[in-house]
Structure 1
Amino acid sequence: MIKRALVIACLIPTIASAASFDCDNAHSPLEKAVCADPALSTLDSSIATSYNAALQRLSSDGQTILRDGQRQWLQFVRDLCFTPQDASEVGFCLTKRYTDRLKDLSTAAVTIGPYLFSRSDYFSATTHDKAGRPYEIHAGAPRIDAPLSPAIASWNDAMEKKRMMRAVDSDCGSRHGDEYSSLEVNYASAKVISVKATDWEYCHGTPHGQGGTIGLTYIIEPRLHTLEATDLFNIDTAWKDFLTSRSYEAIKKKADGTSVERDRVERAAINIRGWTLTQDGLLITIDPYAVLAYAFGTTEVIIPWSDLKPFLAPNAPIPPQT
């Protein structure tokens, strides 16, 4: 018996009702496609397991938000993978979306620092280009389920606004395109929450997609605000030169002989929007075109907190150092 629970789990609001059922009862094209592929059936069961495990950890509000996202995802899969196309592509489409959703659900109820994080997702594949190909949209963001406080509620609101903005923004103009946005928590403590936000867009009919990454770091205590350089660094030190030098070294190595303009590296290295706080150090993300050509891809430079110690502000919101 090939078992799976996803379809029923997504649509019935009680956790206990998300039971596997016999594929002999499969009726819809999605159900039949999943039951016909053992690998998809395994993915489906894994999704149901992760989904139900997350629901059991979340508050009532968190459960509602997760269910809404799961329902949207299920409709998204139907709209995206069962449009007129070669039948051989259906399995590939389903495998990719199921694999992606399983990764999403790994952060649907996860403890990071003092918080239980869930997630809020928006999915859509209801509009199409002239060739009948759906425009694929997915925007996901973290949400703190517990503990809640006025500051955390404001942080949740800020993340939701970022998610909604990314779900509707497009640089494709009349072309429209596929939109993907992911906000991933890299570090969280009672003082600070640091998120890495990645956006990717493919305008239908263009040679390749484009995207970028920014850091969204919020100081929680003593007042909620976005990270400023003075929160992290003593401005009377040579922190700008240090970040620039480390970034320049990494980019020169990656460029492999291609000319690198140091002033462009400096602009990227000291740009707070490129910073993400991690357990190990400060992550500086430098997008394509900021310094190097698109073909070189994104450059990530992580500088250990121990190396940054001479430049840090007295109360810098970094992980405890041993």
Structure 2
Amino acid sequence: MHGRGACSIMLIPFTVPLICMKTPLRSLTATALLLMPFFAHSASFDCHKAATAIEKAICANPKLDKLDQDIADAYGKLLAAADDPYKKRVREAQRDWLKNRKDPRQLETSMQTRLQALRSAIVNEHGLSFLRLQGSERPLYLLSKLPGATAYNQWVDKTWQDASGETSPVEAEALIKNCKSEDECDVDSITRSYAIDFASTEMISVHESVSDYMYRAAHPSNQDSHYNWWLSKAGSIQPADLFSGQAYKKIIEKYARQYVAASMDIKNDGKQSAGDATEPGNWAIARAGLHITGQGYDYQMGRGFVEFDIPWTAFAGMLNPAFSSALKNK
């Protein structure tokens, strides 16, 4: 005999228990939750169809499950906010990240990093608005509407196209790990990095570093280049935009030889190599002066990186007035 209001409960595996109508609703909810074999999923995909190790790891971990949904939400908001010309790149960046997350042990860190990247993809600096999609691995799109923005973004697009067929270090590692012949193991990987050296509503200067590592090579092959745009106009900055005449080359060569002599601890007799210092691809525009970079081999210094600055005052009487005026605008 049962007391008044009581009834028997028959439990059927993996189903909600049969409870009499007089059982309070909160007891029903608590009992059902206790008997649920899994937590309620919020993942961006159907966990019943999880097939990969990554998907299964997400579905088995509430924290990863929540991160996955947060990433999907942030990605959706960024895609909605991006103008049509950039939606394609937003999708490509997300696909690249999904393709490269292969180690479940690093999944939480990778997902947290990706979430932060999506939430901070719109960057406002120096009065300009940028779209950052792959951290430092690709240059930033310029969202600000300026005459020179079109030429700059065309270069960004070309950079993405050039990099689309390259093998990343992660992909190269996987290929080498599974290769079965010498030809299959002969893989080289390319790492790209971009940094904005200088930016204003007038000008922008971007530093590109490309490292190409061939399998079994002693060290990677590195190449550094600079790209400069006059944003208030409509194109890249040429030497004639900065200087009048050709006398500026002697100033640059002088500073290059001084740098080599100081670096090699030798007497500066004017015979040192000036390398490629006069090539515009090695110039970065800076507020204080012209920033020069290059490879040591080009300066007969052996392996290494060359980097020195030339103050604008060294080019007294050579700078175009329009450039001097634009440089002072902050």
Matched, 1:77 2:110: no
User: Which of 214, 224, 234 is the equivalent residue of 1:213?
Assistant: 224
Other-structure match for 1:203: 214
Indicate if the aligned counterparts of 1:77 and 1:94 stay in contact, CA closer than 8 A.
no
Matched residues, number: 267
Q: Secondary structure at the match of 1:183?
A: strand
Instruction: For 2:196 and 2:317, locate their aligned partners in 1 and report how far apart those are by CA, in whole Å.
Output: 27
Larger strand fraction of residues: 1
Indicate if the aligned counterparts of 1:141 and 1:160 stay in contact, CA closer than 8 A.
no
Per the TM alignment, residue 161 of structure 1 is displaced from its structure 2 partner at its CA by 0.8
Q: Secondary structure at the match of 1:286?
A: strand
Q: Which amino acid aligns with 1:115?
A: L
Q: Which amino acid aligns with 1:235?
A: G
Other-structure match for 1:302: 309
Other-structure match for 2:261: 252
Other-structure match for 1:162: 159
Instruction: For 1:282 and 1:181, locate their aligned partners in 2 and report how far apart those are by CA, in whole Å.
Output: 23
Instruction: For 2:158 and 2:329, locate their aligned partners in 1 and report how far apart those are by CA, in whole Å.
Output: 34
Matched, 1:115 2:125: no
Q: Which amino acid aligns with 1:69?
A: A
Structure 1 residues 101 and 163: CA distance shift in structure 2, 3 A = same
Matched, 1:231 2:228: no
Structure 1 residues 28 and 275: CA distance shift in structure 2, 3 A = same
Indicate if the aligned counterparts of 1:65 and 1:120 stay in contact, CA closer than 8 A.
yes
Instruction: For 1:164 and 1:56, locate their aligned partners in 2 and report how far apart those are by CA, in whole Å.
Output: 23
Other-structure match for 1:193: 204
Other-structure match for 1:311: 318
| Worse overlay, 58-67 or 273-282 | 58-67
Say what the alpha-carbon RMSD is for the aligned residues: 4.7
Indicate if the aligned counterparts of 2:138 and 2:160 stay in contact, CA closer than 8 A.
yes
Instruction: For 2:256 and 2:317, locate their aligned partners in 1 and report how far apart those are by CA, in whole Å.
Output: 18
Identity over the aligned pairs, expressed in percent? 21
Q: Counterparts of 1:57-76 in structure 2 under 5 Å?
A: 58-59=82-83, 61-62=85-86, 65-76=89-100
Other-structure match for 1:146: 144
List alignment gaps of at least 5 residues for structure 1. Answer: 12-25, 83-89, 123-137
Instruction: For 1:300 and 1:44, locate their aligned partners in 2 and report how far apart those are by CA, in whole Å.
Output: 43
**What does the per-residue CA deviation read over 1:31-75, in whole Å, with 9 as the maximum and x for residues that have no partner?**
788999xxx9xx999999997997787546545533430231121
Q: Secondary structure at the match of 1:146?
A: coil
Per the TM alignment, residue 253 of structure 1 is displaced from its structure 2 partner at its CA by 2.6
Indicate if the aligned counterparts of 1:184 and 1:195 stay in contact, CA closer than 8 A.
yes
**What does the per-residue CA deviation read over 1:211-259, in whole Å, with 9 as the maximum and x for residues that have no partner?**
11011113344442x322111122254x222222223223333334599
Indicate if the aligned counterparts of 1:143 and 1:156 stay in contact, CA closer than 8 A.
yes
Instruction: For 1:302 and 1:210, locate their aligned partners in 2 and report how far apart those are by CA, in whole Å.
Output: 24
Indicate if the aligned counterparts of 1:139 and 1:164 stay in contact, CA closer than 8 A.
no
Structure 1 residues 161 and 103: CA distance shift in structure 2, 3 A = farther
Per the TM alignment, residue 167 of structure 1 is displaced from its structure 2 partner at its CA by 4.0
Q: Counterparts of 1:174-185 in structure 2 under 5 Å?
A: 175-185=186-196
Indicate if the aligned counterparts of 2:202 and 2:329 stay in contact, CA closer than 8 A.
no
TM-score by length of 1: 0.62
Structure 1 residues 73 and 267: CA distance shift in structure 2, 3 A = same
Structure 1 residues 274 and 34: CA distance shift in structure 2, 3 A = farther
**What does the per-residue CA deviation read over 1:90-121, in whole Å, with 9 as the maximum and x for residues that have no partner?**
65x996x7898699779832223443111355
Q: Which amino acid aligns with 2:319?
A: L
Q: Secondary structure at the match of 2:328?
A: coil
Structure 1 residues 216 and 223: CA distance shift in structure 2, 3 A = same
Structure 1 residues 279 and 100: CA distance shift in structure 2, 3 A = farther
Instruction: For 1:45 and 1:53, locate their aligned partners in 2 and report how far apart those are by CA, in whole Å.
Output: 12
TM-score by length of 2: 0.61
Q: Secondary structure at the match of 1:273?
A: helix
Per the TM alignment, residue 269 of structure 1 is displaced from its structure 2 partner at its CA by 1.4
Structure 1 residues 207 and 190: CA distance shift in structure 2, 3 A = same
Q: Secondary structure at the match of 1:289?
A: helix
Per the TM alignment, residue 273 of structure 1 is displaced from its structure 2 partner at its CA by 0.7
Other-structure match for 1:283: 291
List alignment gaps of at least 5 residues for structure 2. Answer: 1-41, 168-182
Indicate if the aligned counterparts of 1:116 and 1:147 stay in contact, CA closer than 8 A.
no
Structure label with greater radius of gyration = 2
